[in-house]
Amino acid sequence: MNTVSVEELTSKKCQPCHGGVPPVPKHEAEQLIAKLPGWQIGDDGIRIRREWIVKNFTAAIDFFNRVAQLAEEQGHHPDLHLVGYRNVAIELWTHAIGGLSESDFIMAAKINQLPVLLKAPAIG
């Protein structure tokens, strides 16, 4: 896979993976993640993750509902985490290959386009 732009990622559709293909090489994953604000490669090197602090519980659930709809449209389903009623995290990896595929980066780019109501920064 050649390194692509965020615009190219968001214009693509996630492709089903049934195994038998190698994960994205580490150097390509690092180039792709650098283009996706807020996302990081996990310590295990096989998943990507992003965290948000949303305004409240309802904002978290609304965001998860938008992510769920996108996941169904794309056929690529992330792990969704909600802790402490407004600490949201999303993890992506391709289970069938035990690592990262292009679809993980496509999904991350598309998630970045979804509206999310964040906690207001403290004024001080």
Task: Let me know if 103 is exposed, middle or buried by CB neighbors in 10 A (0-12, 13-18, 19+).
Answer: buried
Q: What is the pLDDT of residues 37-75, one digit of tens each?
A: 999 999 999 999 999 999 999 999 999 999 999 999 999
Query: Which pTM does this prediction carry?
Result: 0.94
- Asked if 11 and 102 count as a contact pair (C-beta separation under 8 A), the reply is no
What does the alpha-carbon distance between residue 41 and residue 117 come to, in Å, rounded to a whole number?
24
DSSP reduced 3-state for 20? coil
Going along the chain from its start, the domains and CATH numbers come out as 23-112 (3.30.1360.20)
The neighbour count for residue 97, using CB atoms within 10 Å, is 17
Find all residues with CB under 8 Å of 15, minimum gap 6, and list them: 101, 102, 103
Q: What is the pLDDT of residues 86-111, one digit of tens each?
A: 999 999 999 999 999 999 999 999 99
